[in-house]
């Protein structure tokens, strides 16, 4: 198969992929949904800043400050173009989690009242659940969960939204295994026809809107567990005529596909640099300009003000109103280099290559006896994030065996415990791929799963 991108050349940019682990095994890094590796270009950009033009930004009149400001604001322009936003709609924060919290505090506190409803889904990361729980508790508002279609007859059986802020809407599929110590997973091979396709049940959203005073829908663009790509544009279309704001958690989608926030039409969009070749410590909140204008600041301090007097202050222009204190200058500049790197490959090509890898991974996973994959079996509807369980092997035991073969995967609840509850498991194993991963690595990963079956003496 002819590759869409030159993986060999890409891999050469990532020095870490050359290292060996666990007594000489070549590293296979399949933990990209947690954080990705960084190319030399990103590392060099950060190094270059500290070596040659380290200075605080804005206000400085000396040359170093000018250069640093130019690089920092230049990165903002790159990010804005990358998601088709205006640069004054791009706020730099620490990570996607902070971006969502910023919305919960600065927008939510002013706009969510007692009796209002905030809609999330069962497949959200804790970072898109807990801020809304806190807000709902403070305001006396309600949380409402859009269920996922997961083969337990849930589809279409929508119910009223009479939920307190802390309770999950759906509990019909929670595991009730109480008399077995063994890990509670199905040991038979996965069966796509039984499972549903793990997509959102949009009827639940219609239901919520018709029965409750919905003010905000906060939804992930791509599940960090299932890989499911959600129809966020359709969700915005459902909401916009009703004046309902939509926040999209783009932490998992932005690294892997072209993003156009104007086309999606969402009000807020959050993502993290470190999941897309950039450094840790940088995240982005996009919000529509009129919303940012109307919002009060989140954090007060230097740089976010226009004028400060003893008892009053006025705010700086967008987006600096939301960036109090000295920001993470070096890493924002590094993030700019990551955007350049991805643009050089082209996000359409990133998506197309990962689509190929996904098709191959799906076909290979289906060959493994006793493996249960969570999420869609169709590459068109998902990203290259694969959560699964293998027979009765606990994910941590599996991760230990794979680690021994030099393969880094994640095991646990992936900060999505309501989803784990919905799937009826305590934990899953998760392999997540990126542009530098290859079919050969997938083959070695499958071999390692077979070795785990042998070590655990899984029959069949």
CB of 394 vs another protein, minimal distance in Å: 4
Q: How far is CA 3 from CA 30, 340, 449, in A?
A: 19, 21, 26
Tell me the window of 31-39, 53-61, 304-312, 399-407 that interacts with another protein (CB under 8 A). Answer: 399-407
Contacts to another protein from residues 318-357, by CB under 8 A: none
Helix pair 347-367, 329-345: axis angle to 10 deg: 80
Helix (H) or strand (E) holding 21: strand 20-21
Q: Which is nearer to another protein, 284 or 415 (CB)?
A: 415
For residues 288 and 410, which CB has a smaller minimum distance to another protein in the complex?
A: 410
Do residues 188 and 390 lie in contact, with contact meaning Cβ atoms separated by under 8 Å? no
The residue from 304, 401, 415, 452 that is catalytic is: 415
User: What letter would DSSP give residue 103?
Assistant: I
Give CA–CA dist 433/34, Å, rounded. 10
Tokens of 121: 């889904």
Determine, following the binding rule CB under 8 A, whether residue 44 of this chain makes contact with another protein.
no
Q: Does 184 bind another protein (CB under 8 A)?
A: yes
Stretch that binds another protein, among 116-124, 131-139, 333-341, 398-406 (CB under 8 A): 398-406
Task: Please say which residue, 44 or 184, places its beta carbon nearer to another protein.
Answer: 184
- DSSP one-letter code for 153: S
What 3-state class would DSSP assign to 26?
strand
Using CB under 8 A as the binding rule, whether residue 201 contacts another protein is answered as no
With binding defined as CB under 8 A, does residue 314 bind another protein?
no
Alpha-carbon distance values, 429 to 37, 255, 449 (Å)? 20, 21, 11
Separation between Cα atoms, residue 197 and residue 405, nearest integer Å: 32
Q: 297 is written with which tokens?
A: 């600041």
For the question of residue 239 being annotated catalytic, the response is: no
According to the binding rule CB under 8 A, does residue 400 interact with another protein? Answer: yes
Asked if 457 is part of the footprint of another protein (rule: CB under 8 A), the reply reads: yes
Per CB under 8 A, does 5 bind another protein? no
Residue 359 is a binding residue for another protein (CB under 8 A): no
Residue 412: CB minimum distance to another protein, A: 6
Q: How many CB atoms lie within 10 A of CB 231?
A: 15
Within positions 425 to 444, which residues make up the interface with another protein, using CB under 8 A?
A: 426-427
Q: Is residue 361 near another protein by the rule CB under 8 A?
A: no
Half-sphere exposure of 159 (CA within 13 A, CB side): 11
Answer yes or no: are the C-beta atoms of 338 and 278 closer than 8 Å. yes
What's the min distance (Å) between Cβ of 154 and another protein? Answer: 24
Q: Which is nearer to another protein, 275 or 410 (CB)?
A: 410
For 148, the token pair is 């996922």
Residue closer to another protein, measured from CB, 56 or 400: 400
Q: Which positions touch another protein (CB under 8 A)?
A: 178-179, 181-184, 392-397, 400-401, 404, 411-413, 426-427, 452, 455-457
Query: Any idea which residues carry the catalytic annotation?
Result: 415
């Amino acid at each position: 198969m002819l590759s869409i991108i030159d993986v060999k050349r890409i891999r050469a940019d990532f020095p870490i992929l050359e290292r060996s682990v666990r007594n000489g095994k070549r590293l296979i890094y399949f933990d990209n949904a947690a954080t990705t590796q960084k190319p030399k270009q990103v590392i060099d950009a950060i190094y270059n800043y500290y070596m040659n033009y380290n200075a605080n930004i804005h206000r400085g009149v000396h040359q170093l400050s000018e250069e640093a400001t130019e690089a920092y604001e230049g990165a903002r322009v790159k990010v804005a173009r990358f998601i088709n936003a205006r640069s004054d709609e791009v706020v730099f924060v620490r990570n996607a989690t902070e971006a969502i919290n910023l919305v919960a505090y600065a927008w939510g506190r002013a706009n969510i009242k007692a009796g209002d409803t905030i809609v999330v889904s069962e497949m959200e990361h804790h970072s898109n659940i807990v801020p809304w729980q806190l807000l709902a508790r403070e305001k006396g508002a309600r949380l409402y969960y859009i269920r996922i279609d997961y083969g337990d007859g849930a589809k279409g059986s929508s119910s009223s939204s009479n939920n307190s802020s802390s309770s999950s809407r759906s509990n019909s599929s929670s595991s009730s295994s109480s008399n077995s110590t063994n890990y509670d997973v199905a040991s038979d091979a996965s069966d796509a026809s039984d499972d549903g396709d793990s997509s959102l049940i949009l009827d639940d959203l219609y239901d919520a809107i018709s029965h409750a005073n919905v003010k905000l829908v906060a939804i992930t663009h791509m599940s960090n567990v299932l890989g499911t790509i959600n129809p966020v544009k359709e969700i915005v279309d459902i909401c916009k005529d009703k004046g309902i704001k939509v926040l999209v958690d783009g932490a998992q989608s932005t690294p892997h596909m072209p993003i156009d926030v104007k086309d999606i039409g969402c009000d807020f969009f959050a993502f993290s640099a470190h999941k897309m070749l950039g450094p840790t410590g940088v995240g982005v909140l996009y919000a529509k300009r009129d919303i940012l204008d109307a919002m009060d600041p989140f954090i007060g301090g230097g740089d976010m003000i226009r004028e400060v007097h003893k008892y009053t202050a006025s705010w700086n222009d967008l987006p600096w109103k939301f960036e109090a204190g000295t920001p993470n200058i070096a890493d924002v500049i590094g993030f700019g280099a990551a955007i350049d790197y991805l643009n050089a490959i082209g996000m359409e090509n990133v998506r197309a290559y990962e689509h190929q890898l996904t098709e191959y991974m799906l076909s290979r996973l289906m060959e493994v006896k006793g493996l249960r994959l969570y999420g869609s079996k169709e590459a068109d509807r998902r990203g290259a994030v694969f959560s699964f369980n293998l027979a009765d092997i606990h994910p941590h035991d599996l991760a230990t065996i794979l680690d021994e073969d030099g393969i880094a995967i994640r095991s646990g609840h992936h900060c999505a415990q309501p989803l784990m509850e919905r799937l009826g498991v305590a934990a899953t194993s998760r392999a997540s791929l990126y542009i530098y991963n290859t079919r050969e690595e997938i083959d070695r990963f499958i071999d390692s799963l077979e070795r785990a079956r042998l070590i655990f003496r899984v029959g069949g």
